[in-house]
Chains A and B, each alone.
Chain A
Amino acid sequence: MWLWFHKLGSPPHVYRIAGKITPWFGWIGGILIAAGVFGGLVLAPADYQQGEGFRILYVHAPSAWMSLFTYVVMAVAATIGLIWRMKVAYSVAASCAPIGAAFTAVALVTGSLWGKKMWGTWWEWDARLTSELILLFLYFGYMALRAAYDDQQRADRASAVLAMVGVVNIPIIHYSVVWWNTLHQPASVTKMAAPSIAPAMLVPLILMFFGFNIVFGALLFTRVRGEVLLRERGADWIRELLGKS
């Protein structure tokens, strides 16, 4: 167990493992997403209220979920790095930020498109949209703080503290926005108040969720490899690796 943990701390090992795992994650996730897209766009029936427009859900919901999930992964990795002084954990945290920001942006754009179709406006100050926007700002702040430091190690540790502060604050921000929203907006916005969703609609959604999660893994491992290479650029093992191949 500890050996395994220690091995995770060694950059060459992680580089190798991540390289082996990435195609698997990429292919499995890609297949799941392809199946989910087919199921969602072709097989699922049109919603009786929203017509064909609801199909954007299949991209929107998984991205919104991933935007939060990525932040949590980033904060956990940063915490591990801060506690156990693990360099690789910092690489993971640093790799998470752009991916998470991208998921957040996708969730915002798809939400906006969906809003145009359903509510008639591109932007509604809806609680979820608003807290998603604040989440995007948090990602930007994290990346800006990283970029502001010249020294890699200080950037790692300072941004780790920020990620931890952020993850504590996200629930507070979210609930304050929800509360603000329910006060300011009477029920003019029709939310999907359908707790039971037809299996033909649900199955593709589940496929998309898993697909997004696994593709996130593939993206993350790819970025981590890049990050490890960047950080260890002077190390011997990289010279050997490049000499061999």
Chain B
Amino acid sequence: MSARTGILRAMLLLAERDLRLAFRRPSQLCNPLVFFLVVTTLFPLSLSPQPSQLRDIAPGVLWVAALLSSLLALEALLKSDAEDGTLEQMLLSGQPLVVLVAAKTLAHWFVGGLPLVVISPLAAFALNVPGDAILVTAEGLLMGTLTLSFIGSVGAALTVGVRRSSVLLSLLVLPLAMPLLIFGARATDLAISGEVASGPLYLLGALLAFTATLAPFASAAAVRIGLE
């Protein structure tokens, strides 16, 4: 009779469903982006609009703003599915939960992280970052936001059974995300001063490979615990 859905097919279906759900609510998609732009605007206003100073603070501002706005979106990763019971059905579906969680994380990054990467040149440009460094920043953010989504999926899974979890989620995820911030801001910094930024970028890539392979297992374990 009907064969079991293959793992890859299940991943695709789930990712497609998540994306479709996300695109039904465009405002939720835009909020982190607007937040990112607003936060990067706050710094010139609060410090000084001098181009040289802006360039000095740009790496930190861009990366901190990106981290915070990805954190904002993180709570939505599992919460609604846990509330309406979809997550339980996934658990019962017979598909490996690790794969499903990874698919959800990727879909989440696609609507929450990737737009940040796309919009980051705008913010970087406004902060007077030179052209090459804008590219490096976008590259770094590409890997950084994806890594953060994977780290964040662990945090979101751990807090899935907790009410009002957003502050707790930040407390759990931010310390773990500090290496990202260090390497990412360093890459942008190097590129702004005209040096080769490949070292920190490689390290970001290593972090991505590390979290992408291990974090889904932790998240899946945490989801099982959270749904008991």
Contact = CB atoms under 8 A, between A and B. Distances in A.
Interface of A: 134, 137-138, 140-141, 144-145, 148-149, 153-154, 157-158, 161-162, 164-166, 168-169, 172-173, 176-177, 179-180, 183
Q: Which residue of B158, B175, B183 has the most chain A CB atoms within 10 A of its CB atom?
A: B175
17 contacts: A137-B171, A138-B176, A140-B171, A144-B171, A145-B162, A148-B168, A153-B228, A154-B226, A157-B225, A158-B222, A158-B226, A161-B221, A161-B225, A162-B158, A172-B207, A173-B179, A183-B186
Contact of A141 (B172, B183, B207, B218): B172
Contacts of A166: 176
Contacts of B176: 138, 165-166, 169, 173
Contacts of B221: 161
Interface string B184-218: 00100000000000000001000100100010001
B95 interface: no
Given A158-B158, A179-B182, 13 more contacts: A141-B168, A141-B172, A144-B171, A148-B159, A158-B222, A158-B226, A161-B154, A162-B158, A165-B218, A166-B176, A168-B214, A176-B182, A177-B178
A173 B175 contact: yes
Contacts of B214: 168
Contact of A161 (B162, B175, B178, B218): B218
Contacts of B186: 180, 183
A124 B207 CA distance: 27
Nearest to A143: B171
Nearest to B176: A169
A149 B168 CA distance: 11
A164 B165 contact: no
A145 B178 contact: no
B115 interface: no
A141 B222 contact: no
A59 to B, nearest CB: 25
Which 5 A-B pairs rank lowest in CB-CB distance, beginning with the nearest? A176-B179, A137-B175, A157-B225, A180-B182, A148-B162
Nearest to B167: A144
Interface in B132-186: 154, 158-159, 161-162, 165, 168, 171-172, 174-176, 178-179, 182-183, 186
Given A161-B158, A176-B182, A154 B228 contact: yes
Contact of B178 (A134, A140, A144, A168): A134
Contact of B158 (A140, A145, A153, A177): A145
A148 B222 contact: no
A179 B225 CA distance: 36
Nearest to A138: B175
Contacts of A177: 178, 182
Contacts of B178: 134, 173, 176-177
Contact of B154 (A137, A148, A157, A165): A165
A134 B175 contact: yes
Q: Which residue of B165, B172, B174 has the most chain A CB atoms within 10 A of its CB atom?
A: B172
Contacts of A168: 214
Contacts of A179: 182
A177 B179 CA distance: 7
A144 B159 CA distance: 11
A192 B210 CA distance: 34
A161 to B, nearest CB: 5
Contacts of A165: 154, 176, 218
Contacts of B158: 145, 158, 161-162
Contact of B168 (A137, A145, A176): A145
Contacts of A144: 168, 171-172
Contacts of A140: 171
